[in-house]
Each structure stands twice: as C-alpha cells, then as structure tokens.
Chains A and B, each alone.
Chain A
Amino acid sequence: MKPDDLLRPTDLGLYCEAGDFYVDPWRPVPRAVVTHAHADHACWGCGRYLTSAEGAGVLQIRMGRDAVVDALPYGESITIGGVRVSLHPAGHILGSSQVRLEHRGEVWAVSGDYKVEPDATCTPFEPVRCDVFVTESTFGLPIYRWPSQQAVFDEINAWWRANRDAGKASLLLGYALGKSQRLQSALDPEIGPIYTHGAVEKLNRAYRDGGVALPPTAYAGAAVKGKSWAGAMIVAPPSAHGTPWARKFAPLSTGIASGWMTIRGTRRRKALDRGFVLSDHVDWPGLMGSIEATGASRVLVTHGYTSVVVRHLREQGLEAEVLATRYEGEGDAQDRAEAEELEAEAAAEVQEAP
C-alpha cells in the first residue's frame, strides 16, 4: 500500500481518511459504508451505516432495530467529506454493493463479495470503471469454474424428487442469508412442501419484503410433534448438519450447496449425501473478466487465494498486491476454518514482504 492511498487497512478496518469513514470495518467505528449484511462485512455496533436501498432491510435485521442505517439507491452518489461515494450492484446477495469512491480525480471500487451470473434474488452485478479495484479472491484458482446455475438447480430438484419417491426428507444446507433464498427461488414447489430453519425463515421475510419472489415456505419449528417429513424439503444453514434438530427429519438425505463442493475431497470429508456446486462468489473466469472490465491499472486483492491471484495478475502485466483484511469469503460454518486460514496465510505473506 502507498501512503497517499484513498483506503488503507487499520486495526478497525479499511479506512478512508479523506472522508473519515470505513468500508466494511471489522470493529465498531463511527461511520461505516457496508457492502452487504454478511457478518464478516457488517460489524455490529457502528455509529452509522450507509448501505444500498435494496439491502437496508436485511442490514437492519442483522444490526438490530436501534442501528442507524442510511440507504442509498444504486448509482446515486453522495459526498462524505471530500469523497464522492456511490453504490453499485455486486450480485452476491440481496442489496450487495460495490463501493465506488472518487477523490481528486482518482476512482476506487471495493467489490465486497460478488458474483457475475445473474440470479432471481438480487440485482445483477455491474462492473464499475475505476483506477484501483479492490477485489475478493475466495475462489481465486482456475479449478473453480461454476457450472450454469440452471443445471445445478435441475440436479437439486431431481435429488429432491428421488428422495421423495424413496420416502425420505431432503435437507438442503446453504448460508442463511442469500444462498438459501437463491436456492429456494429455484426449488420446484410441485415436488413437495418446503420447510425452513428459523434463521432462514427470518431472512425469507426480509427478501419477500424486498420484492423477491420465493415459493411458499413454512417454519419447520412450527410443525406438530411427530410429523412425518417424508417428501419434504427443509432448507437450513450448514451449521445445522449433524445436529439433533436435523436428525428429527429422518429418514433423510442431506445436501449442501457451496463452491467448495467442486473438490471431491472436500465433499467427502463432510460426510454429506450430496454436494452441489453453487456459489454466490465469483469463479476464476468471472474474476479475471471482472477485473478486466473495470479497466483498473491497480488491483488490491482481499480474502481468498490472494497471493495466487496477485501473482497471476502481475504476470498479466497489472499492478497487483495483497490487501490483508478479515473477510472470510464463502463463510459456510464448516468452510469458515479453511477460509480463515487462507486469510492467515495471506496475512503472514504480507508480513514477510519487505
């Protein structure tokens, strides 16, 4: 990083001195610009939050009723200090944004988490032209290349149907905010009833309030005791795997939707019946395409395979460096450890650099 950089990492988060605010801080700060409501990007207890109009509802649920949340429609700009700030869709979850900062003629864009393929539950990603692009790199290896989501959705529905025909329930695991709604939007309600884990149901409400069409769902906890779950689909966060809560649906087949399911070893280690390759993050071709589309001459790489992406970009003739943050990427509970460690690896490499 350079001394006059518009954003620099501090103990509290990425700090913009010119505007005296933070982007996705990891500790409470007076003023936070937040890309989206996932826990590793939206920190509890800040004085004021600025986020997209599309995402304000979800953020309010996550940050608590007393949090002060200012909403800014995509594409509109405000000035904080001397810095012009606008938010642009990132296609990651409902209301997710890239933050565009303009100061003294230089433009920065902070991607937060993003995904290129459009889906039914949020505004699609739009590349932002900029000089400096701060990008995530959760899946920054060329082995990560997503199949089309329609193919994956077809697989999921086929799996559900087969389970139903075998008299089993289907437990589908995906992150409570974002992934699970994306999954539900694609489930075929003709196959059977859809039930949800409490964490999922709560956010379903926020999605429906935000105008996202989801099939009818019912909170699984509200079902009568001794109910038969055969043929039902239950959508839950990954942390529900293997819990007594999940066992009550037996006989059941358990599947997870995650980008990490690309690798057989990861899939098998989790002792799940099915792994579906579906991520709300950008894959390798998407990452490289997006970076090119920004026209940025300098790329700062955060959370994920940072050193790999930096080296690759440098070989392509771009100025690139690792930006150490505390974001986690595809933070499914079981994947969290891995993502954290990748971050620690990156942080260690930054410290080694002269």
Chain B
Amino acid sequence: MRDFARLYAALDETTRTGEKVEALTRYFEQAPPTDAAWAVYFLIGRKPKQVVPSKKLREWAAIEAGVPDWLFQESYDAVGDVAETVALLLPPSEESTDLPLADWVENRLLPLRGVEESAQRAALLDAWRSMDRPQRFVWNKLISGGFRVGVSQQLVTRALAKVGGIEPAVVAHRLMGDWEPDAGFINRLLAPDAADADHSRPYPFCLAHGIEGEPEALGPVEAWQAEWKWDGIRSQLIRRAGDTFLWSRGEELVTDRYPELGTLGAFLPDGTAIDGEILPYRDGLPLPFAQLQRRIGRKSVGKTILAEVPVVLIAYDLLEFDGRDLRAEPFQTRRTLLAALVERVDQPGRLILSPTVVADSWAGLAAAREESRSRQAEGLMLKRLDSPYHVGRKRGDWWKWKVDPFTVDAVLTAAQRGSGKRASLYTDYTFSVWDDDRRLIPFAKAYSGLTDAEIARVDAFIRRNMVEKFGPVRTVKPELVFELAFEGIQRSPRHKSGIAVRFPRILRWRQDKPAEQADTLESIRGMLPPSP
C-alpha cells in the first residue's frame, strides 16, 4: 500500500508523460505480482462496485474528525473530492501501513461488501488509524469506487510493455476483455509468447480525431472512403469456438443486453471479429440516440422495449477472419472481406454493411455531409483506404468530419463549483434562454469550453454577483452571455424548457452581447426535428 500510495503521488505530481511512465515502470518492476495486478486494474479505470457509499464515508469521517456536517461540506466545497477531504480532515496519524495492496483489497476492502454497517464502520476506522495521510487518501479512493488518476491506459500499457519487453499493442490487447486481477494474470500479461488463449478478448478500438482545417489537405479524395458517422454504441462482435461476445467500447460485455445481436453470432464463422456500431433501427431507418438510451444500462430487456427499440449492428470493419488478425491489412482489403461476409450472413434486419458515401470531389462529400442530420448521422467518417487498423487514437488515417453543431446564445444564470482539478472554482454553469413571457428558463448545463483565464474571470463575476444559494448551486445575476454549441436536440417532458440537448459546451463568451439579446426558447424549438 505504501508503494502504491507513492506511485499515486508521483503520477499526480507530474504532467510529463515520460516521468509518469518512469514512475509506473519503477512500480511494476518491484511490485509483487498480485499487487501489480490490482494496480493495473485500478490504474486503467476498472473498479469493484462501490463497497461503502460516499455518504457513509463522509459521515463516519466527520465524526472521527470531530467536525460537524456543515463544516465538512464547507471543506468539501474547497477541496472538491470526498476521498481527499476525508484524508485531510481525519486526525493526524503517526501510523503507516506496510501491508501489500493486494492484501488491503482482497482481505479488507472486498469483504466489506454486504457486511453490516456497524462492521463496515469499525473496519474503516481501523484502516484509517493504521495509515498515513497519502495512504488514507488512496484507500478512500479505492473504497468509494472513485479511483481515478491522471494517467491514461496508454501510459500504463507503455510501462507494462517496457517491463515485459513486449510490444505495447500486445499488452493493450491482453488488457481487453474479462480478467481477474491475480498473479496469473500479470504473468500472462507480461509473457513473451503472443499466442493468447482467452477467446472472448476483443481488440483495442481504433479511434479517430476530429478533422482540423479543410479536408482538401488530406490529399486526393480517391485515397479515402467516406461513411456516415453514426451516433450509437461502438462495439465489437466476436465469434470464436462456438461462443459469441459483444463488447462495448467501454470494454463492457453487453451480449445479453442486445439479444438480437447475440443470436446473430451463430451466423458468423468461428474466428471472426467485426467492429461496428449498435444503432437503434426500425423500418429501415435509424432512431434518435435518445431511444437507444432507453436500452443502455438495462440488464434485462423485455418484449416491449425489444419491439419499440430494435437494434442493428452497422458493420465498419473486419478485424479477424478465419482466426487470423487482419489489423495490419489495408482497410480496403478488410472492407472487401467484410462486405462479402455480411452478404453471406444475409441477416439484413440485424447486420448492415456501413454504407459508403461516394463523391468524386471533396466538395461533393461536403454537400453530402449536409444531409447528415436528416439521416440521424453526426457527419462523416473519413478512412484512408490503405490504412491499417490502429490501436487507440492515432492521427492521420481516420478522421471524424462532423457537421457544424447547433449554436445558441444563452445567459449564465447559475453556477456550481467544479470538482477535481477545478475544485474551488465555479466552473459548472447553467444556461438559460428567454421564454415567451420574457422569463429566463434553464435549458442546458455546460462545463467546458473556456480558457483558464476566462474561467478565472467568470468565477470572479459569479462570486460578486450571487443571488441565492440552493445547496452547492448559486444563482447568479443574469448578465453574462455565452455562445453554446450542441450536437442534437430532442423534446423532453422531464425538462422545464421542454427540450434536451446533446453534448452542450461553450463555444465562446459573447462579451459584446447584453443578456436581453440572448436567444429565445422559441428559436431553439425551431431546431427540433419535425414531430413524429
């Protein structure tokens, strides 16, 4: 636990990736295998289900620290993180634990689940009393299920590859899928032999950056394939040794949630991996993403929802065929094999080859892109015909070319302090527009889009112009106007404004506009798709 807490501090302290990889490498080189396995598990963002609710954590810590609730809340407002606030408030400790991370997790943390509250509390107090401040902090993070550290999976992968003396892509692949954090896992993870046994394992997804500048800069249009960019769930459908696995990009096994795709597996030959998008689809047309949201998170799907929101897999790419890893082949070759496979499977109600958008010039593609919204697409995807299937987000071969977002000028009417890096600054904003009676109606929340300097100025304005407090939310004198962008818009009876927008963010601060000139609800309603 001591070394792991030190690793956390080291990762937290630096913004340089080189130093992070070095700290990770040092840790993995000396950690016992079971500790290393748990460290990998937590560092790449997996977490056991929350064992103790944060509410209880703060309640018990406040009592132990002799701090009343309101004072805990004030402290939390300054810190922006429960685990850290608790670590800072607990009475100082002279103790520090030598027990290995795996011991803390396996013998002390996990057994707390489902145990009576009084026993949980006793165990927690016991743990706190045996730890120093940095250890308490990491422990609180683990126990509240909120472990996050400023390190990407890519950096962890790089460090592990260095330690094992193997290719990062091999490590990335072995980190996918279902595995138990134990000593055997670490040995398999770092083993030189690349013949991997686990047949459920998906490949790391190839991701795209948004295009910068004009597409003409990408060279001749003939070197590229354009497809619609769908707004669904990116996933991999895998068929190996008679079993079917459907993985979401979040590396969650979702085979059971989409039974229509799970049973599709039986039509695929063994040794197949298709990269695609789960899309709600009815009567030959995609449905809005909001419909798919009704199925996300649902463990069991009933007949009604299956009938109302059926899904298909739009097939983008073929990563494995006949048990062979095709990722190094040119995209064109993979696509040809994919097209043949989709045709042979012949399940048009469930498996659809991603349609290409063909034009003989970039201008032609730009014109086609304008139809995106009416097709429920977000824009175009551009893929270089001779490109391999990369691991992760690589620049150059795949680009997202989204349609311009909707924009609205809205008034800042409420704010809340951020968390983590933005703790103690007001950075979470609520924006409103004018309704027919010239009242300001909240319609979107946005957290990002301003520079640090702008955030500081807006924060100063908020502190000087607070009107009312509602818990952590402060209403603010309606004065500042911002241009917001969002990707999609839907009717929503749950929102006071009657609309819900997708991915709202701040484009710029309209310092030239008084609040009176902000947009109206009427004008936003005009952006809604026609009523069904």
Q: Which residues of A are in contact with B by a Cβ distance under 8 Å? A: 141-143, 145, 262-269, 271, 273-275, 305, 308, 311-312, 315, 337-338, 340-341, 344-345, 348
A311 touches B70 (CB 8 A): yes
Q: In whole angstroms, how far apart are the Cα atoms of A229 and B387 in the complex?
A: 47
Q: Given A264-B84, A305-B74 in contact, is the A142-B89 Cβ separation under 8 Å?
A: yes
CB <8 Å contact, B68 and A263: no
Enumerate 22 A-B pairs (CB-CB under 8 Å) in ascending A order: A141-B75, A142-B71, A142-B89, A143-B75, A143-B85, A145-B88, A263-B423, A263-B424, A264-B12, A264-B84, A265-B80, A265-B419, A265-B422, A266-B424, A267-B13, A269-B422, A273-B13, A275-B13, A315-B68, A337-B459, A337-B460, A345-B466
* A342, closest chain B residue (CB): B463
Given contacts A143-B89, A265-B80, contact A344 B464 (CB under 8 A): yes
Does B463 lie within 8 Å of A265, measured CB to CB? no
Contact status of A262 and B463, CB under 8 A, knowing A141-B75, A268-B150, A274-B13: no
Determine the chain B residues whose CB is within 8 A of the CB of A265 once the complex forms: 79-81, 419-424
Give the contact-size bracket for chain B. 20 to 34
Task: Give B137's nearest chain A residue, CB to CB.
Answer: A264
Q: Does B127 sit within 8 A of A, measured CB to CB? A: no
Residue B78 is within 8 A (CB to CB) of chain A in the complex: yes
- Which of A142, A264, A269 is in CB contact (< 8 Å) with B67? A142
* Secondary structure of the A contact surface, majority rule: helix
Which listed residue (B15, B79, B452, B460) contacts A143, Cβ 8 A?
B79
When C-beta atoms are compared, the residue in chain B nearest to A269 turns out to be B421
Residues in B with CB closer than 8 Å to A348 are 463-464, 466
The answer to whether A308 touches B423 (Cβ under 8 A) is no
Q: In the complex, what distance in Å separates the CA atom of A236 from the CA atom of B464? A: 32
* Assembled-state Cα–Cα distance A268/B89 (Å): 20
Closest A residue by C-beta to B455? A269
Does B392 have its Cβ within 8 Å of any Cβ on chain A?
no
What sequence of 0s and 1s flags, for each residue 1-41 of chain B, a beta carbon within 8 Å of any chain A beta carbon?
00000000000111100000000000000000000000000
The answer to whether B65 has its CB under 8 Å from any CB of chain A is yes
B81–A264 CB distance below 8 A? yes
Question: Closest residue to B92 on the A side, CB-wise?
Answer: A145
Q: How far is the CA of A264 from the CA of B11 in the complex (A)?
A: 12
Let me know if B456 is at the binding interface, CB within 8 A. yes
Q: Which residues of B are found within 8 Å of A271, using beta-carbon distances?
A: 15
In whole angstroms, what is the CA distance A268 to B11 when docked? 11
Contact A268 B85 (CB under 8 A): no
* Shortest distance between the CB of B448 and any CB in chain A (Å): 15
Instruction: Provide the bound-state CA to CA distance between A145 and B70, in Å.
Output: 19
Q: Which residue of A lies closest to B88 (CB)?
A: A143
New A-B contacts (4) at CB < 8 Å, excluding given A142-B65, A269-B422: A143-B89, A265-B421, A268-B12, A345-B463
Shortest Cβ distance from B452 into A: residue? A269
What residues on B are CB-neighbors of A312 within 8 Å? 71
| A-B pairs, 9 with minimum CB distance | A265-B423, A143-B88, A341-B463, A143-B75, A308-B74, A344-B464, A268-B421, A141-B75, A265-B421
Give Cα A337–Cα B81 distance, bound, in whole angstroms: 22
**In the complex, what residues of A have CB within 8 A of residue B75's CB?**
141-143
B308 to chain A, nearest CB (A): 44
Please, how many angstroms separate the alpha-carbon atoms of A269 and B466 in the complex?
24
Q: How far is the CB of B132 from chain A (nearest CB, A)?
A: 11
Closest residue of A by beta carbon distance from B466: A348
Secondary structure of the B contact surface, majority rule: helix
Q: A341 contacts which chain B residues (CB < 8 A)?
A: 459-460, 463-464
| Residues of chain A with a CB closer than 8 A to B15's CB | 268, 271
Residues of A within 8 A of B12 (CB): 264, 268
- Whether A262 touches B424, Cβ cut-off 8 Å, given contacts A142-B65, A273-B13, A341-B459, is no
| A311 CA to B459 CA, complexed, in Å | 25
Q: How far is the CB of A293 from chain B (nearest CB, A)?
A: 20
Decide: B456 and A337 in contact? CB cutoff 8 A.
yes
Closest A residue to B9 by beta carbon equals A264
Query: Closest residue of chain B to A144, judged by CB?
Result: B88
Query: In the assembled complex, which residues on chain A have CB atoms less than 8 Å from the CB atom of B88?
Result: 142-143, 145, 262-263
A265 to B422, CA, bound (A): 6
Please report the C-alpha to C-alpha distance between residue A311 and residue B71 in the assembled complex, in whole angstroms: 9
Q: What is the chain A residue whose CB lies nearest that of B66?
A: A142
Closest to A263 in B: B79
Q: In the bound complex, what is the Cα–Cα distance between A250 and B80 (angstroms)?
A: 34
The listed residue with most A CB atoms (<10 A of its CB), out of B70, B71, B150, B422, is: B71
Chain A proximity of B466: nearest CB distance (Å) = 7
Bound complex: CA A341 to CA B80 (Å): 17
Contacts of A340 in B (CB 8 A): 460
**In contact, B422 and A141 (Cβ under 8 angstroms):** no
**How many whole Å from B6's CB to the nearest CB in chain A?**
13
Chain A residues contacting B459 (CB-CB under 8 Å) are 337, 341
From B85, B420, B456, B463, A344 is in contact (CB under 8 Å) with B463
| CB 8 Å contact bits of B149-162 with A (1 = contact, 0 = none) | 01000000000000
Choice from B65, B70, B84, B463 contacting A263 with Cβ under 8 Å: B84
List A contacts of B84 (CB < 8 A).
263-264
Cα distance A192–B15 when bound, in Å? 26
B466 to chain A: which residues have CB within 8 Å? 345, 348
Please name the residue on chain A nearest to B423 by beta carbon: A265
**With A and B bound together, what is the CA distance between A26 and B466 in angstroms?**
25
B400-440: which residues lie under 8 A (CB-CB) from chain A?
419-424
A266 CB contacts on chain B under 8 angstroms: 423-424
Separation of A264 and B88 alpha carbons in the complex (Å): 11
